[in-house]
Structure 1
Amino acid sequence: MQSTYQTAALNDDYYYSDILYSPYQTLPPVIQDTLLDRQRIIVIANNPSITQAKLEALLQPTDMLVLFNDFIHAEFFAYHPSAKDLPKLLFFRQNGDSLLHFGLPPRSNNLTAILEMTKHATLGMLFGNTDYQFPLPSDDPRPNDDPITANRVLEIPKPLDKLLRSQEHCGVLSEQHSVVADYPVFADIHSSAPTSGFLLYRLLLAACLEVQQQKNADTPISIVMLGFNNENKTANFWEGHNWAFERQELATPPHGVEIIRQY
């Protein structure tokens, strides 16, 4: 059964009259421009069953990649010939109400790989709920969840510091965005909200339709959800996400959306 939002998003007459809530305008400007000449968006979960060989076989030159937080296979995305030249959107989720975003200092991060990515292709960043705040290790409310090691990058290189402050390359995505207005959160669980993957799925589904309308094209940009499973084997099965709601919707994806589950 499709959600009310999916049904609306697939209607030919669908249009966002309020630009402040436009999914397309929520994306960083560089990603807005990139979508105009893309054929597919590959949304990649942090699923350890996704191998580099599978990625190499899947990716195409007209793809755009979406990665999350402290994403897997960072060196592959930064250096491999089939991935390094593809535009990328990185999403960093806010850690509760703290100053932290997962995947950025002082938490575990791929800053070295991200810096390399900027040398090869368009890179955009979305931050959950608020701009990146450049927090210190002392701002981490739960430092034992992610202990600092010698390999952790804590000092942000100047080119990345500039990028993290750029209005062209960065944007903020609220967990209460209109694309998830129908999401059934749990009132008794603080910070209950959609998973990062589902939030981006809803946003991109609507943004692609807006691009289709702008270009007066027959078909929207297709979306591939890679590694988004529908079982309970994930290591981070947080009770604040409504997994049943998300899995019910993704069980019957709309035309143009492909779900590739665990290999």
Structure 2
Amino acid sequence: MPQDTTNITKVALVTGGGSGIGQSICLRLAQKGLKVLVVDLDLVSANQTVNLITEQGGAAQAYELNIANNADVKSVFDSILEKESIDILINNAGIAHVGDIEHTSEADLDRLYNVNVKGVYNCISACIGAMKAQKSGVIINMASIASSVGITDRFAYSMSKGAVLTMTYSVARDYIDDGVRCNCISPGRVHTPFVDNFLDNNYADNRDEMFEKLSKSQPIGRMGQPQEIAALVDYLCSDEASFITGSNFPIDGGFVTLNN
């Protein structure tokens, strides 16, 4: 159903909005009448998300951005803030790495830090002043179950997502009196193109078997869907969640609490 964009009052910026969970978040927020700024390292993917939104009558704009580059983030965010507010920031962009500490090089560690940790820092720092000035704002950070429990062969990834969790607590505490809410979401395994590519590249001979094994690692018996993550983001951004800040929301099919 076409969306009425004449009364748009809020703007949401979503990093990594070109595919997977990020794209689902963008579509969900646009359906709720928000203008969505789709930020991605790949401008083609960002524009594809924008096209999906505008085809449904929503409002969106694409931005090409490497969130690991502080100067570029500041430049893009400043240019946006000169024209409109950033009412909601969704720090969704991130990268993965498989390996224990013996199989994590310094370059691997730096790469994960630069995107998953510094990228979140860059984006929050670029808009927190504006949110503080307008006395309102919502920040949602994408953490992981790896923030809270030990996951085999995820040393660098767990390090980075643990930092996302504690950054969330810190920002929520520091800006609670400025009308800014900050929470994080910790997904378990979600069925995205990343999972499909991982299986195709590493388990071509027994892909279906591995897909089933990965699915069953969640006690609920399946992987999550991007739309389910987007629904939780939608709620946490809404006025109905105005009493929620400084919280971590596992969405993992029972992995953290039941997988023991």
**TM-score, with length taken from structure 1:** 0.34
Q: Which structure: greater helix fraction?
A: 2
**TM-score, with length taken from structure 2:** 0.34
